Chains A and B, each alone.
Chain A
Amino acid sequence: MSEHHSNEQHHILSNSMAAKIFGALLVLTVVTVWVAQFDLGSLNFAVAMLVASVKATLVCLFFMGLKYDHKENTVIFSTSFIFMIIFMILTFGDLLTRGDVYVKDMSKIIPDGAVAAQTKSKYEKAWVSNPELLAHGKELFAAQCVTCHGAGGAGNGVAAAGLNPKPRNFTVADGWKNGRKASAIYGTLTKGLNSMPAFASLPPDDRWALSHYVRTLGPHESEKDSAEDLKKAGIDASGAGGGSAGEKQIPIDVAIDLMSEKS
């Protein structure tokens, strides 16, 4: 009878097969925990995902019966993972390329004065240290820098172990790639250096505050900015106009914030 044709018969997972799959899943769990003990760098992540995927495949094929099921159910379920990959690609395609995009002419999309307000300095000369800037720099340092540079600035933060080259030790005079002058530190904050990201999204005053504070952590008093240094950093020391000198661009994430405030 057609009713009893083979394609109308449902496969039943045998007890011995269920036990074998169960055993394999347990063994693979032990494997993934065992491998995690060793520090293999980025390979740890790859191995963990590989083992998880083997486990997931076993569950799908046998416990969920896709091996014995119509192929269309496998196709249907697979589409979800294809769309998950598309989701990942689009998200990272956006996020990982944002750093390259700087909005050059803000006037077209951002209200007048918004960029200036973003980069305007509270101080007449933010490149010269003052107690208010130092106090602000100390706060910013605790929030932004201690993870790598350590609470005392000795380059021994909790994340320092995983970094190469190591974070700068601010308490000694040696090794400063860009020099120890405030304008040099300001430049490093703006552009980043090695594994240190750029902090250009901090307003100029914040970057000056950090620059001045970092200089108090070691014997850097003697390293002073000359008019020449400041000029190189894009600052006209004689002119008025505050610390925003040379800041005609703002990072894309700051621009997006400004645009969303507008709308």
Chain B
Amino acid sequence: MAQGTGSVSHLDRHHAHHFKSGHEEFEACKQGMWIFLVTEVLFFSGMFVAYAVLRVFYPDMMHDVHHHKLLDWRMGALNTVVLITSSWTMARAVSSSQRGEQKNTVGFLWATLLLAGVFLVVKYFEYSHKIHEHILPGAQYAYEGLTTAKVPIFMSVYFVMTGIHGLHVVIGMGVIYYLIRRAKRNEFGPRYFTPVEMTGLYWHFVDLVWIYLFPLLYLVG
């Protein structure tokens, strides 16, 4: 076995018969994960294009949203920090599992799960404030502080984009919890860490989407 600290020779565990080696199985799995992430980008791209079109055609809509502070940038910034931190803990969970540090793997996975929960709690406060003030999509919009024809359209974009992103966070939490249970049974180590690495890729992607959503929705007016 390789002794180097910076890399691990791995995956000579029992592998499916149609792969030459555990390594090949791992690489195929990872490539499949990247292809899945391509479909995720394309899935979100529909929403990003809709946002771009509305932004170009209704600059006054963006101006109104920004000027009347319909979104609280502090909440968005807080959630950005939370999600970036969770990306870091996830990266540490992956490298811990690769080094066979079971306690750290479980600990960092728990930290990631906890931060994902914090993200959703902040989102809950944002949503409930908007529901209370009737700052809602389309025909549901009835905010007394600002009456315009276009802002309800922005709120549709806001709720769909953050809602779908939030759904990804919830799904990620489920998968991370499943990993914690497996990590506790000591199933991951230098020879096998595929599920942890794949979940890491997914979780970083969820962070990636938020990295763009935060400035687009909360900052630029």
Which positions in A face B, CB cutoff 8 Å?
3-4, 8-15, 18-19, 21-22, 25-26, 29, 32-33, 36, 44-45, 48-49, 51-52, 55-56, 59-60, 62-64, 69-70, 72-73, 76-77, 79-81, 83-84, 87-88, 91-92, 95-96, 143-144, 147-148, 158-159, 161-162
Contact = CB atoms under 8 A, between A and B. Distances in A.
A45 B221 CA distance: 8
Given A64-B204, A80-B42, 9 more contacts: A10-B10, A12-B6, A12-B95, A13-B94, A52-B211, A73-B31, A79-B38, A84-B48, A91-B49
B27 A80 contact: no
A209 B94 CA distance: 67
A70 B28 CA distance: 11
Contacts of B149: 143-144, 147
A148 B59 CA distance: 12
Contact of B64 (A9, A81, A87, A158): A158
Contacts of B67: 158
A55 B214 CA distance: 12
A72 to B, nearest CB: 7
A22 B208 contact: no
B171 interface: no
Interface string B52-65: 11001101100110
Q: Which 6 A-B pairs have the closest CB atoms?
A: A80-B41, A159-B60, A48-B215, A22-B88, A9-B7, A80-B38
B91 interface: yes
Contact of A158 (B38, B46, B148): B148
17 contacts: A10-B26, A11-B6, A14-B95, A19-B88, A21-B88, A22-B84, A33-B219, A44-B221, A55-B211, A60-B204, A77-B41, A81-B41, A84-B49, A87-B45, A92-B56, A158-B148, A159-B64
Given A18-B92, A162-B63, A59 B204 contact: yes
B77 A29 contact: yes
Contacts of B177: none
B34 A63 contact: no
Contact of B81 (A12, A29, A81, A92): A29
B63 to A, nearest CB: 5
B87 A63 contact: yes
Interface string B126-170: 000000000000000000001011100000000000000000000
Nearest to B40: A80
Contacts of A76: 31, 34-35, 38
A15 B98 CA distance: 12
Contact of B31 (A56, A72, A144): A72
Secondary structure class of chain B's binding surface, majority of residues? helix
Contacts, number: 172
Contact of A11 (B1, B7, B211): B7
A1 B35 CA distance: 31
B90 A63 contact: yes
A5 B33 CA distance: 24
B38 A13 contact: no
Given A9-B7, A10-B7, A147-B60, A49 B211 contact: no
Given A14-B6, A80-B42, A84-B45, A63 B80 contact: no
Interface in B1-45: 1-2, 4-10, 12, 21, 23, 26-27, 30-31, 34-35, 37-39, 41-42, 45
B21 A4 contact: no
Contacts of A64: 200-201, 204-205
A88 B46 CA distance: 9
Contacts of A29: 77, 80-81, 84
Contact of B53 (A45, A60, A80, A92): A92
A141 B208 CA distance: 43
B63 A18 contact: no
Interface string B162-195: 0000000000000000000000000000000000
A147 B95 contact: no
Contacts of A162: 59-60, 63
Nearest to A11: B7
A60 B88 contact: no
A209 to B, nearest CB: 17
